Amino acid sequence: MRSFAEGVRLQSHNLQAGLGDVRAALAATDLGPARSGTLILSGIGASWHALAPAIHALHAAGRRAYAVHPSALTGDGIARLGDAFVLVSQSGRSTEILDVLERLADTPVIAVSAHGDSPLASAARTWLPLGPERDTAVSTLGYTATLQTLGLLTDALLGSSRDWDSLPERVAATLERLAPRAREVAPSFAAIGMLDAVGAGPASGSAGEAALLAREALLLPAAEYETRQYLHGPMESVADGFGVVLFGAEREQRLARTLAGYGATVATIGQGADFLVESDPILQILPMQLLVAEVAALRGLPVEALAREQDDTKVAA
């Protein structure tokens, strides 16, 4: 299994290599059933957090689209909830997603997975790939590749177009530019005992993934919050020993100053932030990945495997 830091470095290559494959798969796919009506998206773990930008874009275009957790898709009548489903599992072996698929026998399903021979991709009507590189145990390549595939799918459904061709180069440039800043900030975050991750709109997915990275890679208690929700109670416990990562350029910047005044170790990610990045969700998560890699090294954590891996979350390959 490759190291977490290596996975972070390989993302530009992986996105570039996967771009053509996703475009080819979309061109060969009948997306008609997913272009109108109600669209249900589901995933678990990092795949769940990757749904947020797609849902935000679909809602902004007036589409009836909803992210529904697999735990809420357990009844025999779930096929009636949507006209088409997008099921996301980077491994294609997540038991919860496969349980959902079993209940959607005659419903149009688009599977998003790294492996075409995975149980999910093999059983679904349509498969959209990720990049070719093998992911790390704590997801790096798989997460950003999922964002790319879902972004391309969203563009295809809405008839829109974003600049995906320059994205790999922007990823490489962002990683190079922000690596020194991550090394500078890391010692202060190596001393925290817990972490909150906060963001709004499509950045709520970045907040969720940031909290997951802190738990999986740094073994820290961590939680995710939507920005306005955070203001209504959760921030009351912030004090010395807390770390907070905020994604955004508006209310998050003012909130960062407030939290620092309470004694928290704070980093902002976005326009005019500590880590200056565009609002693209793929670029947003890169500073957190860099920071986690640096903090893990300072704390002596190899980040080579999950520390508490369970035996019922994946089916056999």
User: Domain count of the chain?
Assistant: 2
Among 243, 270, 255, CA closest to 185: 243
CATH, residue 180:
3.40.50.10490
Residue 21 reports pLDDT greater than 80: yes
d(C-alpha 174, C-alpha 276), whole Å: 9
Domain membership of residue 227 (yes or no) is: yes
CA of 137: how far to CAs of 8, 46, 87, 104, 244, in Å?
12, 12, 21, 30, 24
Sheet hosting strand 222-226, strand order edge to edge: 222-226, 194-199, 242-247, 265-270, 275-276
CB-count burial class (<10 Å; 0-12, 13-18, 19+) for 317? exposed
pLDDT per position as a tens digit, 47-58? 999 999 999 999
Q: Which residues does residue 198 pair with via DSSP β-bridges, in sequence order?
A: 225, 246
195 and 120 share a domain?
no
182 and 275 share a domain?
yes
Q: What is the pLDDT of residue 307?
A: 78
The sign of the dihedral angle between the CA atoms of 100, 105, 108, 114 is: positive
Domain membership of residue 26 (yes or no) is: yes
Residue 312 reports pLDDT greater than 90: no
User: What is the pairing mode between strands 242-247 and 194-199?
Assistant: parallel
Long-range contact pairs involving 154-158 (C-beta distance under 8 Å, separation at least 24): 154/53, 154/54, 154/57, 154/58, 156/26, 156/31, 157/31, 157/34, 157/35, 157/39, 157/58, 157/63, 158/57, 158/58, 158/61, 158/63
Domain boundary pick from 137, 158, 179: 158
Q: What is the pLDDT of residue 305?
A: 78
100 and 138 share a domain?
yes
128 and 241 share a domain?
no
Find out whether 243 and 189 touch, Cβ atoms under 8 Å. Answer: yes
Domain membership of residue 315 (yes or no) is: no
95 and 213 share a domain?
no
Domain membership of residue 306 (yes or no) is: no
Domain membership of residue 308 (yes or no) is: no
pLDDT per position as a tens digit, 113-142? 999 999 999 999 899 999 999 999 999 999
Domain boundary pick from 132, 158, 184: 158
**Once rounded to an integer, what is the mean pLDDT over residues 137-149?**
97
Query: Confidence band (pLDDT; 50, 70, 90) for 310?
Result: confident
139 and 240 share a domain?
no
172 and 124 share a domain?
no
186 and 207 share a domain?
yes
Q: What is the pLDDT of residue 230?
A: 98
Residue 12 reports pLDDT greater than 80: yes
Domain membership of residue 303 (yes or no) is: no
Q: What is the pLDDT of residue 288?
A: 98
Q: What percent of the chain has pLDDT above 90?
A: 91
190 and 85 share a domain?
no
Q: Which domain holds residue 67?
A: 4-158
Q: What is the pLDDT of residue 306?
A: 81
Q: What percent of the chain has pLDDT above 70?
A: 99
Q: What are phi and psi of 159, to 5 degrees?
A: 70, 30
**Once rounded to an integer, what is the mean pLDDT over residues 89-103?**
95
187 and 139 share a domain?
no
Residue 224 reports pLDDT greater than 80: yes
Residue 218 reports pLDDT greater than 90: yes
Query: Confidence band (pLDDT; 50, 70, 90) for 235?
Result: very high
Q: What is the pLDDT of residue 287?
A: 98
Domain membership of residue 312 (yes or no) is: no
Residue 249 reports pLDDT greater than 90: no
33 and 154 share a domain?
yes
Domain membership of residue 304 (yes or no) is: no
Q: What is the pLDDT of residue 221?
A: 98
178 and 148 share a domain?
no
Q: What is the pLDDT of residue 313?
A: 85
